[in-house]
Amino acid sequence: MDDLDTELLSALRHNARISVSSLAAMTGASRATVAARIDRLVASGTIVGFTIRTSHETRSAGVRAIVMIEVLGKLADRVADQLRGLPQVRALHSTNGKWDFVAELEDRDLASFDETLRRIRLINGINSTETNILLKTSKTGF
């Protein structure tokens, strides 16, 4: 990866539909070079897909948060199954370190969010949690 690849990836993260001509004009490279570089980035697995975000995904939710979860003993699979069953859990990540899971939550308002946290904390096998409410998102995607 060189500076041109990095610049192309940055532009494609911002707008996956940008034309090769626009990328060429932006970078100062020829259209053929830009097209070849994108093809190479796809073939190497650096780019694994192109995507869009819908208005539903980008509009502000009532409350969004990250919840770190510590699980007792060998109950991780059981806890994960229960967490995945909650519609407010948008993503669930297993981690290393102090926390066994990081859950991304989205709820309609603070009262509903409080109830969701209560339900999570009552799941058998959860030892402790730490919650951070997300205030503003300035970048999405990778």
Q: What's the gap between Cα 136 and its chain centre?
A: 14
105 within domain boundaries: yes
Single pTM value for the model:
0.61
What pLDDT is recorded for position 95?
Answer: 95
% of the chain beyond a pLDDT of 90:
66
Domain count, the chain: 2
State the CATH number of the domain containing residue 98. Answer: 3.30.70.920
**Is 104 within the bounds of a domain?**
yes
CA–CA distance, 100 with 96 (Å, rounded to integer): 6
In-domain check, residue 51: no
Q: What is the mean pLDDT of residues 87-93?
A: 92
Query: Which domain does 10 fall in, by range?
Result: 1-42
The CATH number of the domain holding residue 30 is 1.10.10.10
Contact by Cβ (8 Å): 114, 129: no
Residue 66 and residue 19 share a domain: no
Residue 2 has pLDDT above 70, yes or no: yes
Residue 47, domain member (yes or no)? no
Angle at 92 (CA atoms; ends 117, 125), nearest 5 degrees: 55
91/27 same-domain check: no
Q: What is the pLDDT of residue 108?
A: 87
β-pair partners for 106: 64
pLDDT for 34-86, tens place per residue?
999 999 999 998 888 887 766 555 555 689 999 999 999 899 999 999 999 99
141 is a domain residue: no
Task: With respect to residue 54, please indicate whether it lies within any of the assigned structural domains.
Answer: no
Predicted confidence at residue 11, as pLDDT, reads 86
